[in-house]
Structure 1
């Protein structure tokens, strides 16, 4: 019984040998501070993240209230990259507190979702090559190019979300 309590921890979540939280769909030896991108995800989860799912990005306003917005994203195996315009509320929030959550989910059965919590930071300006690739993923090649062209005169800033915790559901891994 004591051994089981030590393994699952107070919240009843599985714990690894070092006491770190183990999430289904994510390799047990995942360490968020690893310097290089590693394949930490179950193949089903990695494939899901490559789809054109709109994500919900949650940040915290300086007064403590949550702020949640829909975003497009790209995941490189290490962090999620999101594009936003300079001066947005989400950028102001990240200047005050570099924490964020990202929830990516389906809206039709069978429901599947991936939610990460982690550190977030504003990066440099995003180039049109990245923007065209991501816009084509969500809108198709022609409409993606048109979107990038229509918004080319605006400053697009990267937001990088580095996951510290993962939660997945609906992949048969629970």
Structure 2
């Protein structure tokens, strides 16, 4: 197995994957949950969730989280990025819509965003600082 270059890992994270975020919590194992996200190389990982959800409360308390994305068939590849939360703000329609369309396509994404964006929706941004990656196709 070989590590990815900086450019390869950022490009891989920017591809369409369901991410799994992990965030610490007191007296228990870290919370690990799947999530839709957005990322552009060099930027922040962007999540959309609801204020008051377990993941939002834990991310706010910890001030950081990890995201992992992977390819589940050979040749296996994965990227993990960890970093501090740079902002938690009320969700704007454009960001929520972009994430929904990324995963569901234009028509279904618009319908999902219209149904799911609400006054409690928030956008969480994290700046990746530490990376782990592996690309088994490089062997």
TM-score tier by shorter-chain length is 0.7 to 0.9
TM, length-normalised to structure 1: 0.69
Equivalenced residues, count: 136
Gaps of 5+ in 1: 1-22, 27-40
DSSP-derived class of the 2:73 partner: coil
Between 1 and 2, higher relative CO (CA 8 Å, sep ≥ 6) is seen in: 2
Larger proportion of strand: 2
Residue aligning to 1:164: 129
Residue aligning to 1:73: 37
Q: CA deviation at 1:62?
A: 3.2
Q: In structure 2, which of residues 95, 103, 111 is the aligned counterpart of residue 146 of structure 1? A: 111
The 1:93–1:144 alpha-carbon spacing in structure 2 relative to 1, beyond 3 Å, is same
Residue aligning to 2:101: 136
Residue aligning to 1:116: 81
RMSD of aligned alpha carbons: 2.1
The 1:130–1:144 alpha-carbon spacing in structure 2 relative to 1, beyond 3 Å, is same
Q: CA deviation at 1:173?
A: 5.9
